[in-house]
Chain A
Amino acid sequence: MIVCVAVVGHQNNPLYIQSFTDADDALKLHHIVHCSLDVVDERVNNPKKSGPTLNETFLGLLYPTENYKVYGYLTNTKVKFILVTTDLDVRDADVRNFFRRFHAAYVDAVSNPFHVPGKKITSRTFAERVSTIVKSFGLSSAG
């Protein structure tokens, strides 16, 4: 089950954080997202020696912690999407699919002429689309 999604700007400023459980402390989730940014920077600065990867956007599992798994996705403009989930068995394809749809929703939100790049995303449509994507992620991986 997805616990939290976050969008972080290229200066590591948070643009959107949404948690989907009431049980966990929001602060702890923010802390996890913050720590994962370090891992992202490390992955970006020290690419694996297996040659230039074609799809450099999906960073994969960043690090497993306690009972959470954290996945990362980097766009060309250095905007990072972070996904925190409690699922034990998560298929790679599902996560990639999730990020692809999330990226599409993000692009539509940023195309709003009233959105200021670098400021938080306040679009209600974006929030609704994100919850839809999150809900369907849970369903597809349970099936």
Chain B
Amino acid sequence: MPPAAPRSGDAIFASVERVNAELFTLTYGAIVRQLLTDLEEVEEVNKQLDQMGYNIGIRLIDEFLAKSNVSRCVDFKETAEVIAKVGFKMFLGVTASVTNWDADGTCCSIVLDDNPLVDFVELPDTCQGLYYCNILSGVIRGALEMVSMKTEVTWIRDMLRGDDAYELQVKLLNQVPEEYPYKDDE
């Protein structure tokens, strides 16, 4: 049986089960609020959100690869394109674009057109250092780590802080070759 062709983000998004966007937004808002109440330090909350995103990402990557049938990516550029066009569309329903490639092809920016996590949200003055959508950077980092790419994901622009768009910078640190747990000569 020939392998199935990779499906577009729109096609997959239309076929998976969906949840009400407001429920999703309000749930995420409640999580962030509770973290702020429990941890009280904005930096701690940023770290926790990243960690939560990492835990989601390492599990999400299997679902993504299973549903989307993408073939092995040749280089990091293709990986970033797949994340932006298929991944974000499939899981958040938003389109993203990839820009700002550096000379080596190891660092790029993913720009989100809109972001369902932040509907209705306004950061109060006490939380100005908060990266509200930090869970997304954790998700990308976790997912890529499961396919042997160590990356660093940071927020460049954040509309909640007054910028005009959401921009994530994804930097490939190194590719870890797959290691077999058993030595060949044993």
Contact = CB atoms under 8 A, between A and B. Distances in A.
Interface of A: 108-109, 111-114, 122-125
Chain B at the A interface: SS class: helix
23 contacts: A108-B120, A109-B120, A111-B25, A111-B26, A111-B29, A111-B119, A111-B120, A112-B29, A112-B120, A112-B121, A113-B26, A113-B30, A113-B32, A113-B120, A113-B121, A114-B29, A114-B33, A114-B121, A114-B122, A114-B127, A122-B124, A124-B122, A125-B122
B146 interface: no
B11 interface: no
Nearest to B126: A114
B26 A114 contact: no
A112 B127 CA distance: 14
A125 B120 CA distance: 9
Interface of B: 22, 25-26, 29-30, 32-33, 119-124, 127
Contacts of B30: 113
A123 B26 contact: no
A108 B123 CA distance: 14
Chain A at the B interface: SS class: loop
Contacts of A114: 29, 33, 121-124, 127
B124 A113 contact: no
A90 to B, nearest CB: 31
B109 to A, nearest CB: 27
Contacts of B123: 114
Contacts of B22: 111
B163 to A, nearest CB: 16
Nearest to B34: A113
A30 to B, nearest CB: 25
Contact of A123 (B29, B119, B122, B127): B122
A123 B120 CA distance: 10
Nearest to B22: A111
A119 to B, nearest CB: 11
Contacts of B32: 113
Nearest to A126: B122
A110 to B, nearest CB: 8
Nearest to A124: B122
Contacts of A124: 122
A67 to B, nearest CB: 36
Interface-centre pick from B26, B33, B120, B127 (highest chain A CB count, 10 A)? B120
Minimum-distance CB pairs A-B, first 3: A113-B29, A111-B120, A113-B33
A113 B29 CA distance: 5
Contacts of B124: 114, 122
B127 to A, nearest CB: 7
Contacts of B119: 111
A112 B33 CA distance: 10
Nearest to A125: B122
A3 B93 CA distance: 43
A109 B120 CA distance: 7
